[in-house]
Amino acid sequence: MEIKTKMGLSQEEARRRLRRDGYNVLEEKKKPHPAVLFVNQLKDPLVLILLVATIMSMLLGEVLDALIMIAVVMINAVIGIWQEMKAERSLAALRQLNSPTALCLRDGKLIQIDSRELVRGDVVYLRTGTYIPADMTLLESQSLAVDESSLTGESEHVSKRLGDAVFMSTYVTYGSGCGRVEKTGMQTEMGQIASLLNHRERQLTPLEQRMASLSQKLGLLCLGICIGMFLFGLLRGHDFFGMLLTAISLAVAAIPEGLVAIVSIVLALGTVRMAKQNAIMRRLDAIESLGSVNMICSDKTGTLTQNKMQVVRTYPHVTAELSEGMVLCNNAVASEKGYQGSATEKALLAYFQNEDKLSERYPRVKEWPFDSERKRMSTLHRYQDHYRLYTKGALEVVLARCDYVLQEGRVCILEEKHLAMIEKAGNDMAEAALRVLALAFRDVIDPADQLEEHLVFVGMVGMIDPPRPEVKDSIRQCRQAGVEVTMITGDHEKTAFAIARELDITHNVHQVMNGATLATLSDEELYRKVASVRVFARVKPSDKVRIVEACQKHGWLVAMTGDGVNDAPALKKADVGIAMGKTGLDVAKQASDMVLADDHFETITRAIEEGRHIYGNIRKAILYLLSCNLGEIMSIFGALLFFGEEMTILTPVMILWVNLVTDSFPALALGVLPESNDLMKEKPRPKEESLFSHGGLVFTILNGLVIGLMTLVAFRYGLNESESCGRTMAFMVLSLSQLAHTLNLVSEKKSLFQEKGERLKLVLMVILALTVLQLAVVNLGIFWRLLGTLPLSFDQWCVVIGLALSLIGINECVKWFGR
């Protein structure tokens, strides 16, 4: 690599290599140009139907109608582009908070540089509490230990020696060293994984599938209306060309122009609400998927727990020797940002630290680092007239090297009765899923002796990463809502089970499976067993994808949390991938659908509730719009059937007014209804559930027929005076019955009179405002020429209001029978 270890690269050579190899960054999936994003928004099936309707309207000479539909398409596209760009800006802000630097040797000087500018051959110095900025080979190692969990999923820290490899985005937990950069950017191990993820295609969300299905049905409906109306007219002897234009007009009227924009607006407003609750949605449609989730596969550390080890038990009690030893035999350091080092050693320092500067009073002379074979760490310290060795590690390892025990400040020979008490205390801690660390010491004159033997047992501590206090209630809420929670962790099964038991995930040890058992199962066996397992312990990164796939085979909609590179394939595979915002790596965030800005499990629960809320509101808006449009079609078709082609029940301008005013604004009000208190008491919706399930289709047809029938009755009543009067009454009944119909959809089951005023507030305000506008349409001369209306008498108003409000009475009766 043409490197001088003592001098490092020259700045000139570093610049040359940077130009050759590029920046040391992981390439994100290429962001499409705004023009491409715009075209993608037009691929929505409903948007395509609107575009076809726009062309038809222009052919019919309805230019204003066509322009309005083009405006709706534009609004929808702008909202979609805005949300995608907004999510990317939020993620960029999170990345900015964690912009790494590197201590690099250039021209013989140690300088701090942006890690993006590292090149192959650079010498980089590593110290406790820093992330490793590239793949490197170690040139020096002073008790260096690295947390590689972001890459491997293993929670144990790995000791590193001269010549060992260390990898980008892993974390130095203690020690120091320096290394030579071997690979940067996309050539690193992390870069290879990121490259694979960028080429994975995403699956359609349930909402996208439902909207695509709805679009097909609407398209077939429009085609059917067009053909049926055309043939009906020909059979009655009407003009060929005239009937063709009438049939096309009716088909265009059947399309709810505002539907696309309203769905997009409701989803966009949902993302704003969720962002305020620390859930950043990367895709609009993924919000609704959250409402369908019935299985959450969650990491333990940092999501269910606090990611902060704590000493919760000591044996026999806190003594000066125990406190002193745990502080001195420790590589964590205090800084302005808190303690830096491994989670275990930070917890020991936080628990035992006192005001005395122990490391200055008793300087360290030598260290024997912890590794997976020794399972202990020892440090030698200079006292006034002698040396003292402290050893900490696994209880069985430390105890095997002890010949003595410290009792009430006196050193005694270690006897069977002492061993029995110590082992019982250790077993009690282990049964409580505590990590047990024992401490022993030895005073020596000559540090050249074999030191790690004939030790004096001092005591031990029990530690745990405690659960987040709010998680238990959140899991209970999930279970009440029909959402199961499965813990997936790299930790020991005893520790995992203890946390799961405390959080009420499971109280049955038979619902715990370790990675070794999982590895022996075929995919079919895992599919059969996954339903009865609630804790997966000691799992490998590849196991997470298998677990998600097994859950999905059951038809479950799976949410998966993760923060490391090892989690990214599972995040991509899950129906809803959820990355951690604080501790998560960029690769995980890019693979996800949602990012938790606060890393809290409680945020997932709130997001599921919001997803259900949004889906329910979108469904209400869709049923409302389709009922109203069906009412319009039935009234036009009925008038043609009963009154002939000569009678026009609604003018094109009236139809346009209804579509723009009394259709769109109430639908939008339904789309932003405050959430119900019952949302998290209901079971999740099946993936394949139609928008018209639970009586939605019957509801739509019934209300459409009633609206159409009431409009025809009003028209017939008004014809007693004149065609203009009949048309005005029909127009008013159609408009006001649609406004009344908004109240029917506030709840599909509960009576309108059981609803709280707070939920009705916005809907009632919209209805009142539009009712006043409708009164103005009839009574102000400025509208008479525009819409062809005329003032109504008192008797006629009574008929109009009676017919419009009858829709509420009919729906109340249907709900009563349903209950």
Tokens representing residue 788 in the block: 């062809």
Cα(606)–Cα(481) distance, integer angstroms: 12
Cα(378)–Cα(401) distance, integer angstroms: 12
Reference 308, options 90, 100, 418, 467; nearest CA is 467
* 3-class secondary structure, 310: strand
Q: What is the DSSP string of 109-146?
A: EEEEEEGGG--TT-EEEEETT-B--SEEEEEEEEEEEE
Cα(819)–Cα(813) distance, integer angstroms: 10
Length of the chain: 819
Cite the DSSP H helix spans in 366-440. Answer: 395-399, 416-431
Reference 665, options 742, 608, 594; nearest CA is 742
CB atoms within 10 A of CB 775: 13
* 3-class secondary structure, 301: helix
From residue 28, alpha-carbon distances to 95, 530, 711 in Å are: 13, 34, 57
**Catalytically annotated residues:** 299
CB atoms within 10 A of CB 553: 14
Q: Position 179: which residue type?
A: G
Return the residue matching tokens 């009236």. Answer: 654
List of residues 6+ apart from 541 with CB closer than 8 A? 152, 153, 566, 567, 569, 570
Reference 559, options 574, 540, 537; nearest CA is 574
List of residues 6+ apart from 165 with CB closer than 8 A? 135, 136, 137, 138, 182
The answer to whether the beta carbons of residues 279 and 597 sit under 8 Å apart is: yes
CB atoms within 10 A of CB 810: 15
* 3-class secondary structure, 389: strand
The answer to whether the beta carbons of residues 362 and 383 sit under 8 Å apart is: yes
Dihedral angle sign, alpha carbons of residues 718, 659, 213, 51 = positive
The answer to whether the beta carbons of residues 292 and 684 sit under 8 Å apart is: yes
The pairing of strands 484-488 and 535-537 is: parallel
* 3-class secondary structure, 754: helix
The pairing of strands 402-407 and 279-281 is: unpaired
Angle of helix 601-643 relative to helix 723-744, nearest 10 degrees, comes to 160
* CB-count exposure of residue 410 (10 Å: 0-12, 13-18, 19+): exposed
Cα(591)–Cα(26) distance, integer angstroms: 13
From residue 575, alpha-carbon distances to 165, 295, 687 in Å are: 35, 10, 10
Reference 703, options 816, 818, 804; nearest CA is 804
